[in-house]
Amino acid sequence: MSIRAGQIDDIPGLRAVFNDSIRQTCQRDYTSEQIEAWLHKGLSNPQRWEKLMAEQQVFVLESDAKIILGFASFHPDGLIDMFYLHPVCQG
What is the mean pLDDT of each successive set of 10 residues along the chain, which is 91 residues long? 96 95 90 92 88 96 95 96 92 71
Helix (H, G, I), strand (E, B) or coil at 78: coil
* φ, ψ dihedrals at 71, nearest 5°: -160, 160
- Give yes or no for a contact between 34 and 68, defined as CB atoms under 8 angstroms apart: no
> Is pTM beyond 0.75 here?
yes
| pLDDT value of residue 44 | 83
